[in-house]
Chain A
Amino acid sequence: MKRVYLLLGGILLTAAAIALWSATRSTSWNEAEIATLRGLWIGSLPALPPDPSNSYADDPQAAEFGHELFFDTRFSSNGEVACATCHQPELMFTDGLPLAQGVGTTDRKTMTIIGTAYSPWQFWDGRKDSQWAQALAPLESAVEHGGTRTQYAHLIDKFYRDEYESIFGPLPDFSDPERFPTSAGPVDDPTARAAWEAMTQADRDAVTQVYVNMGKAIAAYERLIMPAPSRFDQYVDALLKKDKQAMRAALTADELAGLRLFIGRAECIKCHNSPLFTNNDFHNSGVPTAQGLPLDDGRASGVLKALNDEFNCLSQWSDAGENDCAELRFVTSEGEQLEAAFKPPTLRNVAETAPYMHAGQFSALEEVLAHYNHPPISPIGHNELEPLGLTQREMEQIIAFLRTLSGPLNVSPELLQAPQ
C-alpha cells in the first residue's frame, strides 16, 4: 500500500515540477513575440500623420481657439453642453456613462478623443473621416449640443471675432437678421431647417465656412491629446534593453501571463494591434443590442454616411486634394462584413473608461472577457469571434494586463482643463 502512495506521490511531484518549469519558461519571449511586443509599445507610435483636409491642423493659434470652443457651453441649445461635457479630461475624455448625455440621450457610448488623430475614421461606425468633421456632428445633433450653425456663427461674431479673424481672416457680416436668422441649419428641428432652406446659397456657405473653421480649430486642439507611457510600455522598454530587474518591477507574473494570452491564444491582438491597441478598422464581435435601442447595423450605415457626408475628405470644405483621400476613395462600402461592425476602441486606459462596447452594454471588463470567451450569435451579420476556451483565471490575468495600459496623457496640463 505504502509503495502505491510513494509511486503516486512521485507522479504528483513530477507533475508539479513540470508545471513549475513551464511557468518559469513562459517568462521569456521568442523573437517573433518580442517583435509583436515592440509593435504595441508606445515607442513605436509613428509621428503624427498630417491631416491634409485641415490646413489649420498644426496651427498653435487654431489649437488654442479650439481649446476654448471645446469647453464653451454657450455652443448648445440650453447653454449647458460643451464637447467637454461628454469628453471629460479627468475620465480620459469619456463620461463614464453607457450612452452619451447632451441635451438629450444618444444611442452610443462616448468614445475617447485620445489618439484619434491617428484614425482615418471617427465614431463607432466611422461615419466621419476626419477629426474636424467629427467635431461638427454633435454640435448639430438634436440630442447632443442641440444648436444650429447660424446660432454658432452669431456666437463667434459676439465672443470670438478677433481671435477668429486672426486665424481665418475676416468674418462675414452676420448682422442682418433677415439674412442670418438666430437659429438656422440643416438639423432635425423643422423651424430651424425651414429658416436654413430660406437662406440664399451664398449666405448658407458663408455660415458653413465659419462652422467648418470651428471644427478645424477643435481638431487642432484634439490632435494634441496623446497617451503617455504606461506600465506596459515600461516593461517593453526594459525588455528591449534586456534589463531583467526593470522588467520584473514593471509587470507582475499575472499581468505577464495576461499579456502572453493577449498576444497569443486569446487573439485580442487581431484587432487591438499597434501602439494604440486598435487597428481603427471595423469588426462584428456579436455585441448584443442594448436594451431599449433599435438594432444597430454599425459600419454598414456608417460608410454610406461618410461617402455622402457634406464634410468628407472630397467635399468642398476639405482642404485635401483627391490624392489625399485614399481611405474614402477605396473604402469598402458593401458586404456582410460591415453589418454590425464597430471600430475597436483604443485599449490604452481601458480600465478607466467603463462601461464598454458601442452602447455601454457591459459595465465591467469581466463581462467583456466573458463575452469574448463565449461569443454569442450576432444580432445581425456574422460574429467574427471564435470561442476562446479561457479559464476564469486566464480571463483575470488578461484583465490584470489590461490594467497595465493605464497611464497619464502626453498633453500639457493647461489643455486638460477649461481655459482661464
Chain B
Amino acid sequence: MKKQQLNVILTAVVTTIIVIVGFVLLMPIIGPRYLHPMMMGDQPAPSNLDTSATRTSYAGLFNVSWSADSGEPPLNQIHSWTLHVETADGQPVEGATILVDGGMPQHGHGLPTSPQVTEDLGNGDYRVEGMKFQMLGFWEVRFNISADGQSDSITFNLILE
C-alpha cells in the first residue's frame, strides 16, 4: 500500500517536472507568436497598403503626386518634396493653399518637423520644405489642398526601409 502511494507521488512529481521543462523550452518559440501580444514586438505595416506616389484626393477633386527631391526619402535627413496637383480632368492647379501633416499611425506620433509649402512653382507644382522621417517603418503624409474655393485632402502612405 505504502509503496503504491509512493509510486503515485513520484509519478506526479516527475510528470510535473517534465511538463514544466518542456513548457520552458517551447515558450520562447510559442510566446512571441501566439500567446502574448507584448512579446510579438512592433506590428508590421498593413499588407494591402497603397504606397503609390500618385493618388486621388478623398472627395475626388484633385489628382496629387509627390516626389522627394533626393529620390527616395532619406532617413533622419531634412529634405524637400515637390507636390504636383491637378484637377480630376488633368488641369494643373495653381495658387492653391496647402497644409502638410503626417505621422506614424502605428506609433501614434506625428512628423518630427513642421514642413510647409514654401513656393508655388507654377504648372501645378509646389515646393514642400522641412520634410523629415526619423524612424524606419510605415508613415502617412497628409496634404490639405484648397483652391478656387474648394478644399480636399489626401493621404500618402510610405514605408521607409
Contact = CB atoms under 8 A, between A and B. Distances in A.
Interface of A: 1, 4-5, 8-9, 11-12, 15-16, 18-19, 22, 32, 35-36, 39, 120, 264-267, 269-271, 273-274, 279-282, 326-327, 329-333, 335, 337, 384, 386-389
A331 B42 CA distance: 28
B22 interface: yes
Nearest to B29: A22
B90 interface: no
B68 interface: no
29 contacts: A1-B7, A1-B11, A5-B14, A8-B18, A12-B18, A15-B21, A15-B22, A15-B23, A15-B26, A19-B29, A22-B29, A36-B136, A265-B32, A267-B41, A270-B42, A270-B107, A270-B135, A271-B134, A273-B76, A274-B76, A281-B112, A326-B129, A330-B114, A330-B130, A332-B111, A332-B112, A332-B113, A335-B110, A389-B36
Contacts of B40: 265
A51 to B, nearest CB: 14
Interface of B: 7, 11, 14-15, 18-19, 21-23, 25-26, 28-29, 32, 36, 38-42, 75-76, 78, 80, 107, 109-116, 129-130, 132, 134-136, 161
Contacts of B76: 273-274, 279-281
Contact of A11 (B18, B28, B111, B135): B18
Contacts of A386: 38
A267 B41 CA distance: 7
B21 A269 contact: no
Contacts of B36: 389
Given A4-B15, A326-B78, A337-B109, A265 B135 contact: no
Given A12-B21, A19-B25, A32-B161, A331 B113 contact: yes
A380 B129 CA distance: 31
Nearest to B133: A279
A327 B161 contact: no
A330 B78 contact: yes
A267 B42 contact: yes
* Nearest 5 interchain pairs by C-beta: A330-B130, A265-B41, A389-B38, A15-B22, A279-B134
Nearest to A276: B76
A265 B39 contact: yes
A378 B148 CA distance: 46
A329 B116 CA distance: 10
Given A22-B29, A330-B114, A35 B130 contact: no
Contacts of B32: 265
A39 to B, nearest CB: 7
A273 B18 contact: no
A330 B132 CA distance: 10
A267 B107 CA distance: 12
Contact of B116 (A9, A120, A273, A330): A330
A36 B28 CA distance: 23
Nearest to B44: A32
Nearest to B42: A267
Contacts of B135: 270-271, 273, 279
Nearest to B11: A1
